[in-house]
A and B are shown apart, each in its own frame.
Chain A
Amino acid sequence: MNSRIIYPNDDGGVSVIVPAPECGLTIEQIAAKDVPAGKPFKIVDVSDIPSDRSARDAWTVDIADLTDGVGGESNVFN
């Protein structure tokens, strides 16, 4: 799966959901299930994620760009 899901986390940074290729779910199903409730998210191509992680904890995201949906209420974790 060459997609990733990004959303802002509670620490002011950005979380990146990496789908499991063998799980049998689509990226949209994973977003609905694994994005925390209330968090806006965007599905992006893996090439959009930096491979240089030396400043990983400084990554940020513009919430205005997270237009693909909001985490479902079924997710009780944050």
Chain B
Amino acid sequence: MSKIALQGGATGTATFTIEAPTTSTNRTLTLPDNAGTVLSSASDLDAANLTGNVAAARITDALNASGSAPIYACRAWVNFNGTGVVAIRASGNVSSITDNGTGLYTVNFTTAMPDADYCVSGSANQGSGSVECVGESSGGIRTTAAIQVAILNGATNARTDRPFVNVSIFR
């Protein structure tokens, strides 16, 4: 039969108490067959130890993702004003945008993408009498560090500035 040894702290002076709950039912608390520190409600859990079905369920629940289809994350995004004084409203993993001319911008990533095979998605608010299209610019750069996008007037196909431009990167 294996044994249980209780050992006091080497230097502390306080008393550590193990207390039973208020119950009339006999219970057995089985310790794990490995070394380590018991996790309490006040403990931090190393992300490396958060694995398996419970972790997967927690993540899919947090993302309201039903079903078993895999989830692929947005790796960078930006919402900016491309008119007047061009400015970024909000962003994630974007260090800056480069205004290269009318309707032509480079989105620079703070942390590089794992490769340049990512998916680019974009939108811009509608102008008067036209629907704007945001896409990868012809001949523009596509690297792990940055992507160049153009905003085109849907009626004339000319580059245009719009007050709401949104770009997101998936990989």
Which of A's residues lie within 8 Å of B, judged by CB?
5, 9, 11, 13, 15-25, 30, 33-34, 46, 49, 51, 53, 56-57, 75-78
Contacts and interface: CB of A to CB of B under 8 A. Distances in A.
A9 B91 CA distance: 24
Nearest to B140: A77
A46 B84 CA distance: 11
Contact of A77 (B85, B96, B145): B145
Contacts of B84: 51, 53
B91 A23 contact: yes
A16 B95 contact: no
Interface residues of B, number: 28
Contacts of A22: 90-92
B98 A19 contact: no
Interface in B49-68: none
Contact of B78 (A11, A20, A34): A20
Given A9-B100, A19-B95, A77-B106, 13 more contacts: A15-B98, A15-B99, A15-B106, A16-B98, A23-B95, A25-B110, A30-B96, A33-B95, A46-B85, A51-B84, A57-B102, A77-B143, A78-B141
B9 interface: no
Nearest to A57: B101
Task: Determine which residue in B87, B91, B141 has the highest number of CB atoms from chain A within 10 A of its CB, and name it.
Answer: B87
Nearest to B108: A34
